[in-house]
Amino acid sequence: MLDASDVGRLVEESSFEVVVLERVAYGAGQTNWFVCRDSEEYFFISNLLLPGSCVTVCLDGRISKAKYAFAIREKILRIAELEHDCVVGMLGVDRCRLDVEFIAGDEEMDDFEAALGDRSEIFFGAFPGRSSEEGRVITFTVPDSDGVVRNAPH
């Protein structure tokens, strides 16, 4: 199993801003989303992850970063049509958390645009699966405080 330093090294090697999805254990579908650009930011994020959470680290740009424009709106709606919805996020105040919405159609897209305000950079893509793909996506479960990895509903 990879440890935080291994993942940090892979973050450094990625040519994309890396998106980290935390599926909270016993959270009834609760997720936390983060973005990191280097290993230091990844280590900061890794200390925020809750025990038992299932974490997916997207190293390959599958959650894209873009300046919002009409063409991006069309891409988001196309993903939503194919995948049921599209994850769309904006950087939070702390610059590592993503405030995400799940856009399924025009009405939700209009609401998102209204909330966007003067922020123009967004992250978007299909909701990542739990699989791992060497060099592209890493999925792991955060050990409990006693170091044991336990299966939990996410």
User: Quick one: DSSP state of residue 105?
Assistant: S
Residue type, 62: R
Q: What is the pLDDT of residue 2?
A: 58
Say if CB 57 and CB 135 are below 8 A apart: no
The residue ranges of every structural domain in the chain are 1-63+128-154, 64-127
Q: What is d(CA 124, CA 109) in angstroms, rounded to the nearest whole number? A: 12
Q: What is the 3-state secondary structure (H, E, C) of 17-31?
A: CEEEEEECCCCCCCE
Q: Model-level pTM?
A: 0.90
pLDDT (tens place) for every residue of the chain, 154 residues total: 556 678 888 999 998 999 999 999 999 999 999 999 999 999 999 999 999 999 999 999 999 999 999 999 999 999 999 999 999 999 988 889 999 999 999 999 999 999 887 778 999 999 988 776 666 888 999 998 888 888 887 7
Say if CB 66 and CB 121 are below 8 A apart: yes
Q: What is d(CA 77, CA 26) in angstroms, rounded to the nearest whole number? A: 31
